[in-house]
Chain A
Amino acid sequence: MIKGQPTLELDHVSAFLREGQRVDDISLLVRHGELVALVGGDGSGKSLALLLAAGIEAPLKGTVRILGIDPALAPEEGYVDLRRRVGVVFDRPALLSNMSVFNNIALPLRYHTALLDPEIEDKVTEALRLWGIEHLRDWFPAQLMLSDARFVGLARALILNPEILFLDDMLLGLDAWGLARLRGFFEGVRSKRGMTLVTSAGAPTKLFDVLDRVLFFQNGRMVAEGPPAEVGRMQDAAVHEFHSV
């Protein structure tokens, strides 16, 4: 993927979930290497928009193109290949409960690559070290604190070096040290510009400073968009209230 090329395109996308979440007529273009956050309060539609963008939920109307591919129209092989190039971290980390932390992170490697066990061992150990969770290697998801589980989810989503990472509700479960680790990661992504990052947040955070763009959601619609500093200065009542918290 060439820098500056569109990585993610949502064209007039609308969707509705049984739980009452909805998004209406959202259009969005994210370029390769950009760091973007979808922000807004509970029920604003930011998480659904992220899941639509990640190809996890299907839109009722409109089209989604991830890395130039519409997941709804991709043949099985193409779809699997697309999923290998995309990392997703859910708000609840959705780790496989019957597998240890090590095996959770190793799973995409075992399933999608022909790597041998010693190579997988090296890669997973490196990922554990990178996120400071080596001591959790043999733990099971039920034993983890949410912040640790989220970092395991991140390590798993990044193990295949995806071209685009979707991180739902980036602040969820993180303490000050967790946020610092996440900031370090964002800064690393920003400096290299090798991966596109799409994340979401339900509250303002200093982490926005590291991002390129913030898209503000309210009642299922995208109401403001721009660099973090500009969106914070907008006079829209809801955006202003969100940033003044």
Chain B
Amino acid sequence: MAYASEVLYLGYLASKEIFAASPRKRGETYRIIARQVIFTGVDALPPVTFIALMVGLLVIIQAGTTLPHVGASGLLAQIIVLTIVRELGPLITAFIVVWRSGTAISTELGNMRVGKESTALEAMGINVTRFIVMPRLIGAIIAMICLTVYFDLVAVVGGFLVAKTKLTIPLAVYLEDIGNALSLADILITLIKAVLFGFTIAVICSHHGLSVEGSPTEVPQQTTRAMLNTVTICLVFDIIVTVGFYS
């Protein structure tokens, strides 16, 4: 309970800082946010592309080859929207961001604590939440939104193109079916999940990084805890959103 309240409080403080930074301090903050978006979003494109292609390929091949046997070929697009857009897209993207950027956030902040860098920031009158946590929060949310949309596109379109050797459906028909199966609610809920996961990743990983008290051995311990807790809480949020909107 104490853990949840500490994480939520950090999330509250970081969210508050988004609107609190005075204009003269925004320049430096924007620089850090831009770096975070590049690191978390742009640099993650190669692994996201590869994993999205593989996931899309597997789902499309499984659905495309199994559904005709039960006389449900027409459900291919719905199955793909159901599994990739609604569930796997946001969730797998979140896992990639956790493994790649979540570990980086936790380790970087932990090392900053060990090297007394965060103390030095406080000594200079620089608000650690504003300077360190808030840019990572915004960066993670922007990156999660962009990467989730990108993952869905690559998995749905790229996966189909890769799987085409095993399927007989023309691309145009496939895309039209996907368009018909996809509702505005699906897109909105995917985006809601992306924002929620981005928030969770940044806040939990920052919390664990800042929890390091001074010993270098605490850094990997806190990073491991951050990974486990972030993945678990993302899954819980995913279930809550899915049950809340679709049940």
Q: B-contacting residues of A (Cβ < 8 Å)? A: 18-19, 54, 56, 79-84, 86, 88, 90, 92, 94-98, 107-108, 110-114, 156
In the complex, whether B171 has a CB less than 8 A from a CB of chain A is: no
Whether the pair A82, B125 counts as a contact (CB closer than 8 A) is yes
A103 to B212, CA, bound (A): 25
Question: Interface residues of B: mostly helix, strand, loop or mixed?
Answer: helix
Bound Cα distance A56, B116 (Å): 11
Partner of B28, one of A54, A94, A110: A110
The answer to whether residues A97 and B111 also contact, given A92-B116, A110-B27 and a CB cut-off of 8 A, is yes
- List the A residue with the shortest CB-CB distance to B35: A98
Q: What residues on B are CB-neighbors of A113 within 8 Å?
A: 24
Can you spell out 7 A-B residue pairs with CB atoms less than 8 angstroms apart? A80-B127, A82-B125, A88-B124, A96-B112, A98-B108, A111-B125, A111-B131
Chain B residues near A83 (CB-CB < 8 A): 122-125
Do the beta carbons of B117 and A95 come within 8 Å of each other?
A: yes
CA distance A229 to B125 in the complex (A): 37
> Is B82 in the interface zone, CB < 8 Å from A?
no
CB-nearest residue of chain A to B120: A94
Contacting pair B25 A92 (CB below 8 A) = no
B27 nearest in chain A by CB position: A110
Whether the pair A90, B25 counts as a contact (CB closer than 8 A) is no
Instruction: Bin chain B's interface residue count.
Output: 20 to 34
A92 to chain B: which residues have CB within 8 Å? 115-116
Most chain B CB neighbours (cut-off 10 Å) among A94, A97, A110: A94
Q: Which of A56, A82, A94 contacts B115 (CB 8 A)?
A: A94
B114-169 residues with Cβ-Cβ distance < 8 A to A are: 115-117, 119-127, 131
Query: B123, A111: Cβ atoms under 8 Å?
Result: no
- Output the least CB separation between B219 and chain A (Å): 13
- Indicate whether A56 sits within 8 Å of B119 (C-beta atoms), given known contacts A83-B125, A108-B124, A111-B124: yes
Q: How many Å lie between the Cα of A19 and that of B215 in the bound state?
A: 11
A107-B126 in contact given A98-B108, A113-B24, A114-B24 (Cβ < 8 Å): yes
Closest to A153 in B: B120
Instruction: State in angstroms the CA–CA spacing of A34 and B170 once bound together.
Output: 84
Task: Give chain A residues whose Cβ lies under 8 Å from the Cβ of B111.
Answer: 97
